[in-house]
Structure 1
Amino acid sequence: MRIALHQMTSGTNLARNVLDIDAAIAKAAADGAIMYFAPEMSILLDRDRAHARLQLASESQTDALSHFSAQASRYGIWLHLGSVPVVHENGDKLANRSIVIAPDGQVKARYDKMHLFDIDLASGESWRESSAYTGGNTPVVVQTPLGLMGLGICYDMRFPDLFSVYAKSNVDIITLPSAFTVPTGEAHWHSLLRARAIESEAFVIAAAQCGLHEDGRKTFGHSLVVDPWGTVILDMGEAPGLACVDLGLDKIAEIRQQIPVHANRRVIPPLVAE
């Protein structure tokens, strides 16, 4: 089955980012993709949180989302919008939310990023996602034409407990839309995504932000698709654009038959100190 990944250099103007996504959705549909994947913060990437907040609203009041629902219906394509910033239902902070839309325009799943990016890098970069965002509380799976899909976002990939839940649920696909920094991307991006695919014996689809953004940050790019054996079957490098790849979904059963980790999995009891 053919999918399309959109590698973006999203900026600080929401309307302009929406137009970029519109063009990519149209091309993905024309190229025969059944599902389109965007990166983290696809509709807005702006480190000036006061400025960004002026363009944001609750999910129900975000015009871009109703617009993309109409686009899904227009082109008859599934949309995974990567993640979008919306005002959290508690009204205080934002949510970094993945949204999956079916070809009938209905939202089939939503997932709020559980692990928030609060770090200080040796390069001098410092990020405090928790100062503006409320983290999610639960994993989410959704049935799609590609099979059962487990949702994650960017920094989540460093926390294997989340993906153990997905592996135990026998997901076929794991999605990890991202806006990875360059230093962490160079060190860990490929290794972490390949590990998530290998341990779950599932495809990993990770659309990413890339390049120098209007707000001054630089992101790593290298949107990846990794098969259940850990083989990278798509790497989009460092430039923005759209790429299609055909997934051989029968590979999942083939790998699980060779190395039956799902059948061999044991329940691990709590650690007891001697």
Structure 2
Amino acid sequence: MVHIINVACIQNCATDDLQGNLACLDDLIHEAVHRGADTVALPEACEFLSDDNDAMKAHAKPLDDHSAFRMLQSRAERHRVWMLIGSLTARDENGLMVNRSLLVNPKGDLVSHYDKIHMFDAKVPGQKMSRESDLYRPGTRAKLVSLFGAVMGMSICYDVRFPHLYRSLAKAGATILSVPAAFMQATGEAHWHSLLRARAIENGCFVIAPAQTGHHYGTRHSYGHSLIVDPWGRVIADAGTEVGVSMGAIDLDEVTRARSSIMSLNHDRRFEPPAPTAMQDPVNGRCGA
């Protein structure tokens, strides 16, 4: 089993210019390979972002007819690298839109895919209401996949706020967690580093989190800071806010060391959940909704 994986996180700024986005990704992938990456990880929605839902729907294609997927698949084969395509806006076998993460091997074969489970339906200050559920069919299955003898648990962006997903992946054998993202600027400043470090620490896993950065359209900005975090919660690569490539060496022995030091994955215990209760009014002592 390979014990060191040289990972490159690609950080781009996707717009509704598909060909421009793909040209940028092509250049960044070439740079990553030139710098010695054997695994290249791309962000969520790396190929296309628009504030026009009709444009998003028109762009979404089945993988067999998806020009971005074909291009990225060919680059994995050309450069002989593993490629985590953070996510593409695609259509499933029923023609429904999905936010789909894909892992391609150095032969260009699609090894596995994961459809984002948790939809980002939220009102971020300074942004219009985001409703991913208006576009995408949520996924229903957690996914594990083998990578250089490691086991990677796949996820996407907003999933990171649901720790039980990552606990289930780690308990099932994950040693690496992938969290490709297009995290908004405001929520990124508040939570991005903390959430990713927490997922790494509590599960004794490496976290690979390639992210988008910069201004996409209108008021939409992404936070950047693609991260690689080790199982002790140390950030070993942080891309900052510029478009580019950040590199990190994943030493899988670090997983063994962290888990043998703090064995919390073996210490989960069943417990009775608390019964719901009414909140007490702190002023007059009355209970109310």
TM bin (shorter chain): over 0.9
Q: Partner amino acid for 1:271?
A: P
Compute the TM-score of the two structures, normalised by the length of structure 1.
0.94
Q: Partner amino acid for 1:7?
A: Q
Q: Which residue of 1 aligns with 2:70?
A: 66
Q: Which residue of 2 aligns with 1:271?
A: 273
The correspondence for 1:183, drawn from 154, 162, 186, is 186
Number of aligned positions between the proteins: 272
**5+ residue gaps, structure 2:** 277-289
Q: CA separation in 2, counterparts of 1:73 and 1:59?
A: 17
User: Aligned pair 1:200/2:218, yes or no?
Assistant: no
Compute the TM-score of the two structures, normalised by the length of structure 2.
0.90
Counterpart secondary structure, 2:19: helix
**5+ residue gaps, structure 1:** none
Residue by residue over 1:29-60, the C-alpha shift from the partner in whole angstroms, topping out at 9 and shown as x without a partner, is 22111100111100101121212333331122
Q: CA separation in 1, counterparts of 2:257 and 2:39?
A: 23
Shift of 1:173: 0.4
Structure 2 matches for 1:1-274, cutoff 5 A?
A: 1-91=5-95, 93-145=96-148, 147-214=150-217, 216-266=219-269, 268-271=270-273, 273=275
Shift of 1:69: 1.9
Shift of 1:270: 5.0
Q: Tell me which moved more, 18-27 or 29-38.
A: 18-27
Question: C-alpha root-mean-square deviation of aligned residues, in Å?
Answer: 1.6
Q: Tell me which moved more, 243-252 or 223-232.
A: 243-252
Residue by residue over 1:117-151, the C-alpha shift from the partner in whole angstroms, topping out at 9 and shown as x without a partner, is 00113435310110011100010010001610000
Runs of 4+ aligned structure 1 residues displaced above 3 Å come to: 122-125
Q: CA separation in 1, counterparts of 2:254 and 2:275?
A: 41
Larger CA Rg, structure 1 vs 2: 2
Identity in percent: 37
Counterpart secondary structure, 1:83: strand
C-alpha contact (below 8 Å) 1:146/1:249 kept by paired residues: no
